[in-house]
Amino acid sequence: MADAPRSGECVLALDVGGTGMKGALLDRGAGVLVAERCPTPRSDGPEAVVDAIVSALRSLHRRAAERSLTVRRAGVVVPGIVDAGRALAVRSANLGWRDLPLGALLTERTGLPVTLGHDVRAGALAEVRLGAARGVRDALFVAIGTGISAAIVHDGRLLTAGGYAGELGHLVVEPDGPRCACGAAGCLEAVASAAGIAAAYTALTGRPVGGAADVAARLGGGHGDGNGNGNGDIDGDEAARVVWRRAVDGLGTALTAAVTLLAPEVVVLGGGLAESGGLLLDPLRACLDRKLTFHRRPRLVTAALGDRAGCLGAGLHAWDAEDRTPASAGAPAGLAAH
């Protein structure tokens, strides 16, 4: 754990996920002074989740007081459709929110100014400021986990579009594909998310698996060879290879569309599926090589900050908001949302 900053100031940062919350005290250099984790009581209903967020912020505030730190602001990021400008959680299927004025509600209950943001856009902010896309002006950050979402950095700015930008997981890549939770058929999320891969494997084999990691383990070990196959073909599982190739093809189709429209310098893959390393990146690079022609070829890399990215991004959002207040110094150079 780092020592307290000389200024004695910090912000609270909280990344709210569907199963757990990651919290931290961050100094002005984005150094983590204290870190905490707690479960998200999603099964208890949306009000219970709000109560848990308030409790997590209060716990972090107590930790700051123990260290004689002045808390300037809290940054909270959540999944779903988030209108950061209005501090509104527009829609979250996972957490049961719809048009919830979450920022104002948290400010009222904690007594702190709260900056509300989107978890994946916060992850992109952290990766551009601190991680795998540091210094890049045009980037695409794709989080591949239970679902799939993306964040777009264009000319050094996060694109928000009222909270609706970046829904890459709901780009249709198989018109006759499996039904997505959103109601459409063949969305990328239904084909290439961790949940989609596990469901496809179970449907093909009749053998339930816990997630995409279990399917990856059945590829036979080792990294991919650029064609979607593992190195251990003798011991590998043909059904796993079929499902994996399908997921890679879907990701390749979606990323080709994104690269064509946005021309990012780098595509950063985060989330649990990206942890498979070369099993995913090697065949995905080969897929993009086949599909792209005149386009600007982006670097395809894995996220550097892992599951800390959203929490760090929440803290960065909080510091940015603090520096924009009249009593603060001028805003620092870096990303801003529009």
- Each residue's pLDDT tens digit in the chain (338 positions)? 444 444 699 999 999 988 899 999 999 999 999 999 999 999 999 999 999 999 999 999 999 999 999 999 999 999 999 999 999 999 988 788 999 999 999 999 999 999 999 999 999 999 999 999 999 999 999 999 888 999 999 999 999 998 899 999 999 999 999 999 889 999 999 999 999 999 999 999 999 998 888 999 998 754 433 333 333 333 469 999 999 999 999 999 999 999 999 999 999 999 888 888 899 999 999 999 999 999 999 999 999 998 899 999 999 999 999 998 875 443 333 344 43
Domain count along the chain: 2
Residue 13 lies in a domain: yes
3-class SS at 30?
coil
User: Look-up: residue for tokens 């990206």?
Assistant: 274
72 φ/ψ sector (left φ>0, alpha ψ -120 to 50, else beta)? alpha
Residue 231 lies in a domain: yes
**151 and 38 share a domain?**
no
**155 and 291 share a domain?**
yes
Residue 1 lies in a domain: no
Range of the domain at 286: 135-303
Return the ∠ at Cα 324 (arms to 322 and 325), rounded to 5°. Answer: 70
Residue 129 lies in a domain: no
User: Other CB atoms closer than 10 Å to residue 39's CB: what's the count?
Assistant: 10
Spatial separation of the C-alpha atoms in residues 250 and 255, rounded to whole Å: 9
Question: From the centroid of its chain, how far is CA 44?
Answer: 24
Predicted TM-score (pTM) of the model is 0.85
**190 and 59 share a domain?**
no
Going by their DSSP bridges, the two strands 336-337 and 299-302 should be labelled as: unpaired
Residue 23 lies in a domain: yes
Residue 4 lies in a domain: no
Spatial separation of the C-alpha atoms in residues 167 and 323, rounded to whole Å: 29
**322 and 262 share a domain?**
no
User: In the numeric block, which tokens belong to residue 14?
Assistant: 């909280």
Residue 27 lies in a domain: yes
Tell me the CATH number at 161.
Answer: 3.30.420.40
